[in-house]
Structure 1
Amino acid sequence: VLTHKSRKVAQEESNRQTHLLVQEIDSHRITDQKLQQAKQQADQANQAKSRYITAISHELRTPLNSILGYAQILAADPDVPTHRAQAVSVIRRSGDHLLSVIEGTLDIARIEGGKLALDVRALDFPELMQQIVGMFELQARNKGLSFDYRPLGELPAVVRADEKRLRQILINLLGNAVKFTVRGGVSFTVECRREMATFEIRDSGPGIAPAELEHIFEPFVRGSAVQAGGSGVGLTIARMLTDLMGGEMQVSSTPEVGSCFKVRLFLPRVHSAEAARELPRRDRIGYVGVRRRILVVDNEKTDRELLQTVLEPLGFIVEQAASGYECLATVPAFAPHLIFMDLGMPGIDGWETIRRLRRQQLTDAPIAILSANAFDKGLDNDAGIAPDDFLIKPFKVDELLDWLGRKLGLEWVSANAPPPAPARPAPAEPPPLVPPGEAELTALDELVDLGYLRGILNKLAEIERADARHGEFVQVLRKLARQFDFDAMKEILRKMRDATP
C-alpha cells in the first residue's frame, strides 16, 4: 500500500511539474510572439520614418537646388552691383542654413542605417580653420562675447579628410558654444602632432549637470540650463561623425562655469607635390581641348537650365532631355561625352533609362546621377553607378566641376590671378563698437529690462541720429533686439558701462 501511494504521489508531482513546464513554454511562446510583433511594428515605423524623411527631403531639395545654384552663379558674377551682391549673399546663406537642417536630419538616419560614406580628399587646413573662425568671431562679438582662436604650433598646410564632415563637427560644437554662452567668451584651440589633430572648444556658458552629461549626445536632448532654441541634433551628429571618422570626442562641464569639448581626429598630412595635384582649381573659365558634349536629363526645366547656365560659359555643348524616353531618342544623334541623369521622372525613371542605354549599347559615356533622392546614394544598384558618381541636389558648382574634370580628364583654364602673398593676410577687423554716454546706456538698460521692443528701437534710432560714430553699436543692438535676445544686449551694455571711464 505504501509503495502504491508513493508511486501515486510521485506521478502526481510529475504531472504537476509537466503542467507547469508546459505553461512556462506557452508563456515564453506568447512573449516571443509579442516581441516579434513589437519588432515588426518598430521596423515598419522605422521604414515609414525613412520613407517620410526621403520624400520630404526630395521635395525641399528640388527648389533649393535652383535657389542655391543661381545664387552661386550670381555671387561669381563681377557685374552684380555691391548692394545686390549682399542680397545674393543673404539668399545663399539662408539657403545653406535650410540645407544644413535637412542634412542634419538625414545624417542621423544615414549613420544609424550604416549608409553614410566619407568623401576623403586633400584640403587646405589653415584656410578651413580661418573660414570657420570667421563665421563665429562676428557672432560672438555681436553677443558681447570674446572669441579666442589659438593654433598651438604650426598647422599643416594640406591634410586629407572629409572637409564637409570635419566642418560640420566644428560648426556644431562652436555654434553651440556661442549660442548658449551669455557672458564671458569662447576659446578655440587647434593642435596637430604626428598627424593627430586635437580641437578644443571651451566656453563660459551655463554648463551641464553631471546627471545630464551621459544623455547630451542623444537626439533631441538639451540640457535643463539651456534657454536658447535649436533642433537638439547638433551634438548627436558631431559625436556620430567623430566616431565614423575614427576619432574620439570628450566633454567635461561644470554647472554655472562652462563646458569643454575636445575632439581628436587622425588627419594625415599631404605633401606639397601631391597637394598641387589634388587641391581643386578655382576661377575656372574653360578647359583645354575639343568641346565636350553633355546631355542633361531632368524633368524639371529649371534644373536643366541651371546646369546649362553653369556649363555653357565654360565651353561645353549642352543638350537637354525632359524624360527618359527623350534621352533614349537624343543620345544616338547627339553622342554625348557625359550624361547627367535625374532619378524621379515620369514614364521611366533614371535607373531604367541607364539600364536601357547600356543594354541597347547606345552610349558608353560616363553617367552621373544628379538627384535630390539623397537616401539612394551608396545603395547597391545594377546600373553600374558608383557612390562617387551620385551627386546630390542642391549641388555645389565647384564640386560638380571637380567631378566633371576627373571623369573627362580635363585640364582646366583658370582666370589670371595675382600671385599669392607669402603670408596669409589677417582677416579684416569689424568696425569698433563706439558706445554712447552713460545716460543713454542706462536708459537702454532700463528698456531692455522691461522688454519694451519699440522703446528700444526708438532709443537706438535717437542715438544713431545724435552721432554717426555709434552706427555699428546701434546696428548690433538693433539686430539683437529684433531677435529678442535681451540677454546678449544686457551683456554688451554691461561691458560698455564697465569700460566707460
Structure 2
Amino acid sequence: MVGSKTGGKSAVADPAERTALKETLEDYTLRFAPRSYRKWGPAVVATSALGGIAYLADFSIGANIGIANGTGNALWGILFFAIVVVITGYPLAFYAAKYNIDLDLITRGSGFGYYGSVLTNLIFASFTFIFFALEGSIMAQGLKLGLGIPLSIGYLVSSILIIPLVIFGMKALAKLQVWTTPLWLIMMVGPFLYLLVAHPDSVSTFLGFSGVDADGHPLGKGVSFAGIMLAAGVCLSLIAQIAEQIDYLRFMPPKTPDNKRRWWTAVLLAGPGWVLFGAIKQVVGLFLAVYLIANVSGGFGFANQPVHQFLAIYEDMMPHWLALTLAVVLVVISQIKINVTNAYSGSLAWTNSFTRVTKTYPGRLVFVIVNVGIAIILMEADMFSFLNSLLNFYANCGIAWIVVVATDIVVNKYLLKLSPMAPEFRRGMLYAVNPVGFVSVIVAAGASIGVFFGLFGSAIEPYSPLVAAALGVVLPPLIAVATKGRYYLRRTDDGIDLPMYDENGNPSDVKLLCCVTGVEFERPDMIASAVPGPDGEKQYISSLALSCDKTGEHVLPAQP
C-alpha cells in the first residue's frame, strides 16, 4: 500500500459525497474495472454480453424495412449494416477488453477530451432510452395480447419491472443473462425451424416479396442502391449497440498465454460478433412478416409485431392457449434481458455526464429512473408507429460517433501515431476538449442530418448514413494532422513511478491509497495529487474522487 490520507481539507469533504464514491465501487460507474473485481471467465462475460441482444426489436426492424423496401433491398441493407458494425466494432471491443474501460472512457482519449465526450455520452443515453421504449412497447403488446392489459398500463408495467433488476449492477445482470439464454434460444429458434420444414414454399414467397404500401397493396420495388441505403439506415441505428456490449466486455479477465484463444473468441463473438445474431434476427423478422402477410387473414396489420409473429407460428404447432402462453413468455423474457441492459448502460451514460459536468455524484439509481421515465414518455407517444423515421434519424448521430472513435484508434493511433496508443481517461491528463473527435462528430452528424431532412436535395436523402460514415472516416485524420495531435494529452506523466501494465501488457493490479476517500484503487485508476501530504510526501487520488473534486486543487498542472 502506497500513499496516505491528506491532513488538509479534502476536496470531497462532504460525507454524502464520500458515501456516493464508495457506492460506485460495486458497479464501477465512472471507472476502470479493476482486476480484483473481474473474476468471471471469458465465456461467462461473453454469454452475459450476448444475453443483452435477446431483444425482439430486430424482428420489428427487419419486418419494417422489408415491408417498405422489399426483400432484396432489405437483405442487401442488412448485409451493409453488418459489415459496417464489424469493421467499426472490432477496435472498440478490443480496447474495452484489453484496457477494461467502457466506451465513454475510450472516447475521452480517442479524440474528444475529458469534457468533450459528454456529447457522445448524450448520444449513447439517447440510444438506450429509444430502444428501451421500443422493447417496452413490444412487451406491452405481449401483455395486452396475453393478459388483456391496456397498452398504457403495459408500458408502465414493462418499465417499472426493470428498475429493481438493474439496481444490483454487473453481478446480478450476469446471472440473469446466463440463466435465461438457453430457454430464450429454444423458444426463438424452434418456431422458425418448424416453419421452414412445414411450409417450404414460404421461402420462395419471401425471396419474391417486393414490399407493400400503407394499405397493404404490393409496391413491386426492385433492388436499388437508394432502397438498400434506406433499409441500411434503419438498421444502422443499432450501431451504438457496441457500447452496451462493451459495458460487459470491460469485465474480461486479463489476457494471458494460457487463455489467449478463449479470450479472443469471447471478445470477437461478444463484441462485433453481436451483429451476426442481430442480422439473422432481422432476416427472420422479415421472413415471419412476409409469411403473415401472405398466409394470415389481416396479417398485414400486425406483421411487424414480434408477439403476433411468434403467436402465428406457435398456433401452427400447438393449441391456441399454449401458443399464446409461450408467445407471451418469450416476449417477456426477451424484453427483460435487453431492457435491464438498456437501463443499466443508460444510467452509466447519464451518471458519467452529470458527474463530470457538476462534480457531484447523485447515485446511479437516479438516472435509472430518469432513463425509464423518458422511455415511458416515448411509449405513451406511440413511437412504434413512426419507428422507421425515428431510427433513421438517430442512425446519423450513432454512426458519426462510432465511426469517428474507431477511425481514431485505427488510423490516428496505429497508422499516424498522433493519438496516444494507450487510452487515457483521467482528469488532468486530458484537455477539456479535443477538436479531433469533437468537431468531427458535430460536422459528420450535422451534415448527415441535413441530408436526411432533404436540405441538400431529395436525390441524396437516402444516403445520409453514407455521409455520416464517410465524414467520420475522413475528418479525424485531417484534424489530427492539422493540429499535430497536440490536443490529445495535457500531460504525459501521471506522477506515479510504477508501471501501468504487467508483463503480459494487462493493466497492473498494484494498489495505491486514495488520499481523499481512504480506499485502495488499482494503479491504472490512480494519478498523483497536486496536494502534498502532511509531511510534504507525494499523495495519490483515484480518477473517481478526482471527478468529484469541485475545487480542482488535486488536478495536476499542464506540462509545457
Q: Which has the larger radius of gyration?
A: 1
TM > 0.5 fold call? no
Taking structure 1 as the reference length, what is the TM-score of the superposition? 0.22
Q: Would you tell me which structure has more helix in proportion to its own residues?
A: 2
**TM-score normalised to structure 2 length:** 0.20
Q: Which has the higher contact order (CA 8 A, sep 6+)?
A: 2
